[in-house]
Structure 1
Amino acid sequence: MEPPADAATHAVKVDIRKVDFYYGANRALKDISLPLRANEVTAFIGPSGCGKST
């Protein structure tokens, strides 16, 4: 049995809330929220040209 994970190791380090992103007049992202936690791996996947870098 493993010891319980320390809550501090999974604390939110970057918290993105309610983000919209536009390319000109076109909305590409609407109301995006994303908590990024310490000691976790986050990846954006998708085909070339789909907006991962945005």
Structure 2
Amino acid sequence: MAITEAPMVEIEHLSFWYGEKLALRDVTMSVPKHRVTAYIGPSGCGKSTLL
């Protein structure tokens, strides 16, 4: 039986605002340990805000 490791980072229902501008809406994700993870998207979509 495999043992499941806890994720390195776990985000649940994160929303982020810059004043009246919504930058992130209800983001939920897990980043596993010992894996390469890429955040891909167009300019201005919230990648850096999430990091």
- 1:20 equivalent to 2:15? Answer yes
User: How many residues are treated as equivalent by the alignment?
Assistant: 48
Q: Distance in 2 between matches of 1:16 and 1:38?
A: 14
Which of 34, 38, 48 is matched with 1:53 structurally? 48
Unpaired runs of at least 5, structure 2: none
TM-score scaled by length of structure 2: 0.67
Q: Which of 22, 30, 36 pairs up with 1:35?
A: 30
Higher-Rg member (1/2): 1
- Unaligned 5+ runs, structure 1: 1-5
How large is the RMSD of aligned CA atoms in angstroms? 1.9
- Which residue of structure 2 aligns with residue 44 of structure 1? 39
